[in-house]
Structure 1
Amino acid sequence: MASATPDPQASGCPVDHRLPAAQRTPTGCPVSRDAAGFDPFEDGYQQDPPEYVRWAREREPVFYSPKLGYWVATRYDDIKAIFRDNLTFSPSIALEKITPTGPEANAVLASYGYAMNRTLVNEDEPAHMPRRRVLMAPFTPEELRHHEPMVRQLARTYVDRFIDDGRADLVDQMLWEVPLTVALHFLGVPEEDMDLLRKYSIAHTVNTWGRPKPEEQVEVAHAVGNFWQLAGKILDKMRQDPSGPGWMRYGIRKQKEHPDIVTDSYLHSMMMAGIVAAHETTANATANAVKLLLQHPLAWREICEDPGLIPNAVEECLRHNGSVAAWRRLATRDVQVGGVDIPAGSKLLIVTSSANHDEGHFADADLFDIRRENASDQLTFGYGSHQCMGKNLARMEMQIFLEELTRRLPHMRLAEQRFSYLPNTSFRGPEHVWVEWDPERNPERSDPARLDAQVPVRIGEPSGHALSRPVAVQSVTRAADGIVRLRLVSPDGRALPRWAPGSHIDIECGNTGLSRQYSLCGDPADTGALEIAVLKEAQGRGGSAWIHDAVKAGDVLKIRGPRNHFRLDESAGKLILIAGGIGITPVSAMARRAKALGIDYALHYSGRSRSSMALLDELAALHGERLHIYAKDEGRRNDLQALLGQPEPDTQVYACGPARMLSALQDCCAGWPGDALRIEHFESALGTLDPAREDAFEVELKDSGIVVTVAADQTLLAALRAANIDMQSDCEEGLCGSCEVRVLAGEVDHRDVVLTRAEREAHTKMMACCSRARCRRLVLEL
């Protein structure tokens, strides 16, 4: 009796097994029509890879491509997991020709002695990490700063050449040659053969990642062979005097110390690969970024008006339209990716550009948002032990190029054109970007001093401090004695970012240099405005006084956020919400949300007097008998022991208020489950670093394969950044939680006020800005 056809929905397979299939995967599964049609050399993929594989992200995130002979992964979590496990997913095929060349082209390459070997890009362990460690120093932020003046001078010189023309192809006239010159300087290569190197670099890309026609393969092979020989000659010249600047001479010097690690064949291969890696990806990334920003005129105008937004704009450009569309890996054993069986020996195309548009990781992923807080989560640079070593050199160049163009040509616009791309699976950037402007409007004609303005370059991932956005003060009203309520709206009437209860914003307090955090207290469903209530604190640090004394309706303020590290668990069966004084602001939004969801809740609000308690009338109208008021001048106080003395099942306690109240709450909840009590703090001194009382410790970075020493006078955050590891941060006081890292082994000395008691006791996460180790070594998931 024939077996029944399996139900594809029940099995979880996205391919309907009941349909006839002309082709099957190596595991015998039918190939879907979309997968059978996948061709990364088609114009649709070249123009917009994330859109081309949208169907896969949504319906078939891991599929087999018969045309390519590769398994293709398209979702963020799957691709990051592949990068993380470089033993199961070998990088050995990263530089393998994706289109095999014929015997005639192979013979041409052989005639040049072409013997491209392993590099940092495609090398397996145990060889890879020893070389990476030995050669890492020139890529650290401290060392990269030495190149900043040179990059700035080059950018200015090239813009000078066309500033008065009114029209330019930015690729041909700046964005190709400047990164090539920077790459040569960084490597220590002479500049005499720039035009030849450009031709060779393109040929290398076509040879490795492209699909040259049979009649083109021989010509490409000659160019690649010449490139190989030229790289060898340059290297020989450097060996005669290895004392000069540049990464390749640094490698030659290291070869004397580690001859078994830094070999001759490795240096020759890296000379050739390094020119391409340091040049082409940055050139393409900048061309993509300028095109993308000019296609979004509001974003372009914003970075022109506020250059402080440029670092995060660079990250968002790399996420939304980066220069690396995909990488390749080889499965070394039978493995599952996204629930799909991948046999040992399979080749994988991991479409990082698709991962960067995954709604599961990036909210409104197709939206181009230069203030996106997690833009630096982009996988354009890869991840883990094979993450691009030159990522921060590329970031620095892109920032400087955008700064130069926005300062000198803010009125620049895209000319009418169709963008073309060199067909290949992995590297992409427009071959031309034509722009136009009116030279008579060049700002430097009326303001020559504008040429001397510089914005400090951030070498590394951007800080949350840079992500400001303008808001207009729609109203300032009295909320209680000594408390004002501000309603903030977008100056252009657009919707403001969505937020959830517990969120806060940071307000830049005019020219005071102060920045202060205030919890949102309005309706999370209202996308037209953000509301805060601010208590004027006599003993404060000046922020509240400035808001009370200086801010009025019609003013435009700069804010950062919203961000949320006091998030409400909407799955809780019951909520006990406790607020003291101005701590009502985040708790009021939680109560509103609990009511909307139908969660059982009670709101307990304490204050000196009813006249000093903000939002009281509004809360009474919304919550009725669920609101419990404790006014000190009426002789009422919240008996926390009576309220919380006995743990209640499936109940969460959320609290915000004075430090004394929060301390008492922690004592009362000592018998509750460790994650039942969630507290919002406004300040903390726990993370203050006293080097005389600290011990140095080591952190092993599991994903990156390196060990970093954290000195007694250094935070973990600072040590990671110095080691070229991307780390987000904002408050750097242990208050906000943005620098959280996962701990795989070791005991943490927690000094933040973000984690719950249960999270602290588990020792599975820590805040890099303030917390330290209680042991000699921690192992982190970085």
Structure 2
Amino acid sequence: MAMGGESGVETAPRCPVTGADQSRLDPTGCPVSPNAAAFDPFADPYQQDPPGSLKWSRDGEPVFYSPVLGYWVVTRYEDVKAVFRDNRTFSPSIALEKITPFSDEANAVLARHDYAMGRTLVNEDEPAHMERRRVLMEPFTPQHLTQHEPMVRALVRERVDAFVDRGEADLVDELLYEIPLTVALHFLGVPEEDMETLRRYSVAHTLNTWGRPKPEQQVAVAESVGKFWQYAGQVLDKMRQDPSGPGWMQYGIRLQPQMPDVITDSYLHSMMMAGIVAAHETTAMAASNAFRVLLENRTVWEEICADQSLIPNAVEECLRFSGSVVAWRRIATTDTEIGGVRIPEGAKLLIVNSSANHDERHFDDPDSIDVRRDNASDHLTFGYGSHQCLGKNLARMEIQIFLEELTTRLPHLELVPGQEFTYLPNTSFRGPEHVLVRWDPTRNPEYRDPSLLRRRLKVRIGEPSRKTVARTMTVKRIEHETEDIVRITLADAHGRPLPKWSPGSHVDLELGEFSRQYSLCGDADDRLGYEIAVLHDPDGRGGSRYVHERLSVGDTVRVRGPRNHFKLVPDAQRYVLVAGGIGITPILAMADHLKREGRDYELHYCARSRREMALLDRVERDHGDRLVSHCSDEGTRLDVPALFAEPVEGTRIYACGPQRLLDALADATAHWPQDSLRVEHFTSDLGELDPSKEHAFDVRLADSGITVRVGADQTVLAALRAAGIDVPSDCEEGLCGTCEVAVGDGEIDHRDKVLTAAERACHNKMMTCCSRACGDSLTLAL
């Protein structure tokens, strides 16, 4: 296995596996570690807590071979995302293959029913996949999905009416299982008289593909699956007789004469069967997981009951924390690497996106539920890239409506204590079979206020905007660090604990008409307060003037985040930290963390004079033995070229400060390994777009099939908004990273101050407020 170091320096091929048991080898000839040898996705630890059972892997062996499964297992966020992104090297063709081969007897049963599940949007290779996806995606666009909202809400209210006065219910049996199936059947266009029969076959298909049925069960499962296949074909034939009605299948049937080679009879048959399972099981399980998670975290449940505008982001956080899609499968089409580990051609992969969703390298404090998490929608539960779930926004809409209705009508709902949550054993899909709840019917709010039943909240179709997940915070203290710098302590307005944050994080403050970013510099373990330091810049953009001239103790402000685009690489051998002036704020948090971890670091703090050095007393107190102060008026100005004259293997440099300091560091480390230097910028050098020097280009939106023209005088962000596509943003100067979108195809002209050189070289994400296309087009994951 070949490993590439975090510093970007290529090392000789080696095996990353450690441990005493060297008796088993993987297909590349490397030994299998004891943890990898013991991994069994059908065992209880994985079934109960997939991400928790793989923490050992994320921490030390993120790509490993499982002899039990015969698959390579991928567990870290960036690796899982990379596999999803490259669906040519990592083919989805085995995604629907039975993970447990059937016996000859069971296969004979399938053959007797002419079972011939073929390619679907889930397991189809390029170029056929994207051609079909574009043709068939219109019913999934927001304007079409909005038409289903009244039906979903009516179904939910009817079900809740049946048990609202009873005081107890099984949410799965009485609400969350049936409604997604009914919605799926309506969405597909299944006639009412055929819905009940198709309902009975759906679970058998899940067990057939992703489960481990015992030999004595396989014949019965095969019988059900075969009948499901036969009946799906009969219903499809009925639809063909009159395809004029609503429904995704009717939509495909109507298009078939125009493109018979793309929309074939066998393809429609396979999609009919797969579509029922995809739209039903995953949504029902995701909703069940969400209610378990929220009711187990009572404070969070009460927050969304009090502020239902949090529900869209709560859905995203639940999908991240405990999504229904645990893992997908791929097969390598050529010899390749994942995370530096050699993967041979023909190797099968289990890519555990639920583990990726708990990777602390991407999500701060990933094992906590935070409905205001800024990057919750970065989760990989729906996959990523061109194979991202087509029905994701239908699922989001259903879960939002479930939560809206129950937080309105039964906010006093609680889990029945002591219940055991069980799951249908399989590798890939997960949701509790039962969620038992109870409440006091005499406290139902609708008895006091019948108008509640006439309320109808506006469902958001698609990802929530990051601007909707702010928390209200109170200014607890304002202290002068220097003549021009104040340190501000913020606390939750209701006294609730705040999310954890990692060194390098910042928060966004809404200050009147301004939104500004400030790095956190306090104690990362203090869950009751956030500290920021703000330099008064009379010539700035207005945020610092607001803080210094208008903000007072006791005021409330809206705060978003924390967010981190300036993360510490965790496993460098040595760290050099450089702060210029107010740039000490993120650097001090990094120094605190490195000291706690016992890591090797040195800290250089630069300013014109000591009286301009914020937090100097604390820096000297906590890091005096690692600190070198550089004051121009004392003749100790930092000699940047001398400090970085010779590259030091395994060293990472982190810097924040004025642009001239950052430019000097970039010049001085140009001969160091790529991405040895990471910087955070205060200011942007972006100017107005000059149409005479720019060119127009197209951006194709992969999810909706829309193409948007970006003029020579327009940013991508402006063009998308003009087309009605909501992309969140804050600074709009390439500094904060809020407007980042994923890029599926095309070369990017990067102009931001957020991405590293290595990240830019991947050409898989961009800041829409400033970056552009090098060529004629880009494809965005929107």
Task: Give 5+ residue unaligned stretches, structure 1.
Answer: 1-8, 579-583, 631-637
Q: Secondary structure at the match of 1:41?
A: coil
- Shift of residue 429, structure 1, vs aligned partner: 0.9
- Give runs of aligned pairs for residues 599-748 of structure 1, distance below 5 A: 599-604=603-608, 626=629, 650=644, 680-681=681-682, 696-699=696-699, 708-712=707-711, 716-717=716-717, 729-731=729-731, 734-740=734-740
Question: Does the 8 Å contact 1:181/1:191 carry over to 2?
Answer: no
Aligned to 1:187: 188
- Contact 1:210–1:423 (Cα < 8 Å) also in 2: yes
Query: Whole-Å Cα distance in 2 between the matches of residues 222 and 249 of structure 1?
Result: 28
CA distance in 1, matches of 2:38, 2:567: 44
CA contact (8 A) 1:396 1:459 kept: yes
> In the alignment, what sits opposite 1:577?
580
CA, structure 1 residues 143+769, in 2 after alignment: closer, same or farther (shift >3 Å)?
farther
Q: Which residue of 1 aligns with 2:208?
A: 207
Residue of structure 1 in register with 2:432 after alignment: 430
Larger deviation, residues 297-306 vs 76-85: 76-85
Q: Max radius of gyration: which structure?
A: 1
Which residue does 2:465 correspond to in 1? 463
Contact 1:140 1:723 in 2 (8 A): no
Moved more, 692-701 or 250-259: 692-701
Counterpart of 2:323 in structure 1 is 322
Residues 288 and 430 of structure 1 are in contact (CA less than 8 Å); yes or no, is this contact kept in structure 2?
A: yes
- Output the amino acid matched with 1:182: V
User: 1:760/1:81 Cα in 2 relative to 1: closer, same or farther (>3 Å)?
Assistant: closer
Check whether the contact 1:594–1:600 (CA below 8 A) recurs between aligned residues. no
CA–CA separation in structure 1 for the residues paired with 2:567 and 2:16: 35
For these two proteins, the number of residue pairs brought into alignment is 740
Query: Conserved in 2, the CA contact under 8 Å of 1:573 and 1:650?
Result: no
Report what 1:5 is aligned to. none
State the alpha-carbon separation in 1 of the partners of residues 227 and 302 from structure 2. Answer: 45
Letter in 2 for 1:363: D
1:376 aligned partner: 377
Shift of residue 150, structure 1, vs aligned partner: 2.7
The 3-state SS of whatever aligns with 1:178 is: helix
* CA displacement 1:635-660 (0-9 Å, x = unmatched): xxx99xx9899976639997778xxx
Pick one of 473, 496, 500 that aligns with 1:497: 500
1:320 CA drift (Å): 1.9
Does 1:399 pair with 2:400? yes
Contact 1:746 1:763 in 2 (8 A): yes
Out of 450, 453, 469, the residue aligned to residue 451 of structure 1 is 453
8 Å contact from structure 1 (residues 498, 524) kept in 2: no
Where structure 2 has 5 or more consecutive residues not aligned to the other structure, the ranges are 1-11, 596-600, 646-652
Is the CA contact (8 Å cut-off) linking 2:176 and 2:287 kept in structure 1?
yes
Distance 1:545 1:385, change over 3 A: closer
- TM-superposed CA distance for 1:665, in Å, is 8.8
Please say if residues 518 and 532 of structure 1, whose CA atoms lie closer than 8 Å, have aligned partners that are also in contact. Answer: no
Query: What's the offset of the Cα at 1:678?
Result: 6.2
Change (3 A) 1:466 1:666: same
Q: CA 1:414–1:726 in 2, change beyond 3 Å: closer, same or farther?
A: farther
1:210 Cα deviation after fit: 1.7
Structure-2 change in CA distance of 1:287 and 1:734 (3 Å): same
CA contact (8 A) 1:138 1:144 kept: yes
Are the aligned partners of 1:730 and 1:736 in contact in 2 as well (CA < 8 Å)?
yes
Moved more, 23-32 or 297-306: 23-32
Deviation at 1:120, TM superposition (A): 1.0
CA distance in 1, matches of 2:614, 2:267: 68
Structure 1 residues 744 and 127: CA distance shift in structure 2, 3 A? closer
Letter in 2 for 1:133: R
Counterpart position of 1:773: 773
Match of 2:146 in 1: 145
Match of 2:271 in 1: 270
Partner of 1:600: helix, strand, or coil? strand
Q: Secondary structure at the match of 1:120?
A: coil
- 1:257 maps to which residue? 258
Counterpart-to-counterpart distance in 2, 1:68 and 1:160: 46
Contact 1:644 1:669 in 2 (8 A): no
> How much does 1:330 deviate?
2.2
**C-alpha deviations, 1:234-258, integer Å up to 9, x for none?**
2222222323222212211221221
| C-alpha distance in 2 between matches for 1:140 and 1:477 | 51
Q: Is the partner of 1:243 in helix, strand or coil? A: coil
Give the direction of change, closer, same or farther, for the CA distance of 1:649–1:13 in structure 2 (3 Å limit): closer
Q: Distance in 2 between matches of 1:428 and 1:515?
A: 43
Instruction: Find the aligned partners of 1:749 and 1:73 in 2 and give their Cα distance.
Output: 31
Report if the CA contact (8 A) 2:374-2:560 is conserved: no
**Helix, strand or coil for the counterpart of 1:192?**
helix
Contact 1:708 1:719 in 2 (8 A): no
How far residue 74 of structure 1 moved from its aligned partner, in angstroms, is: 2.8
Return the letter of the residue paired with 1:469.
R
Q: Distance in 1 between matches of 2:639 and 2:19?
A: 57
Please give the alpha-carbon distance, in whole angstroms, between the structure 1 residues aligned to 2:290 and 2:311: 11
- Quick check: 1:356 aligned with 2:357? yes
1:196 is aligned to 2:202: no
Pair 1:714–1:402, CA change in 2 (3 A): farther
Question: Could you tell me how far apart the structure 2 residues matched to 1:530 and 1:394 are?
Answer: 35
Q: Aligned AA for 1:128?
A: H
Residues in 2 aligned to 1:209 and 1:759: alpha-carbon distance in whole angstroms = 35
Mapped to 2, the partners of 1:62 and 1:673 lie a distance apart of: 32
CA contact (8 A) 2:21 2:33 kept: no
Q: Secondary structure at the match of 2:608?
A: strand
In 2: Cα distance, 1:85 partner to 1:377 partner? 18
- 1:122 CA drift (Å): 1.2
Q: Which residue of 1 aligns with 2:7?
A: none
Quick check: 447-456 or 569-578, which moved more? Answer: 569-578
User: Distance in 2 between the 1:436 and 1:759 partners?
Assistant: 49
Give the counterpart of 1:440 among 435, 439, 442: 442
Distance 1:205 1:492 in 2: 45
| 1:213-292 mapped onto 2 (5 Å cutoff) | 213-292=214-293
Amino acid at match of 2:491: V
Which residue identity lines up with residue 447 of structure 2 in the other structure? Answer: R
Amino acid at match of 2:126: E
Q: 1:199 to 1:593 in 2, by over 3 A?
A: closer
AA aligned opposite 1:517 = R
The TM-score normalised by the length of structure 1 is 0.80
Most deviating of 238-247 and 492-501: 492-501
For 2:515, the equivalent position in structure 1 comes to 516
CA distance in 1, matches of 2:181, 2:460: 21
Cα separation, 1, equivalents of 2:723 and 2:217: 43
Return closer, same or farther for 1:196/1:765 CA change in 2, 3 Å cut-off: closer
Asked if the contact 2:603–2:628 (Cα under 8 Å) also holds between the matched residues in 1, the reply is: no
Cα separation, partners in 2 of 1:594 and 1:477, compared to 1, 3 Å: closer
SS in 1 for 2:421: coil
1:730, distance to aligned residue in structure 2 (A): 4.8
Give the secondary structure class of the aligned counterpart of 2:255: helix
Cα 1:305–1:686 change in 2 (3 A) is farther
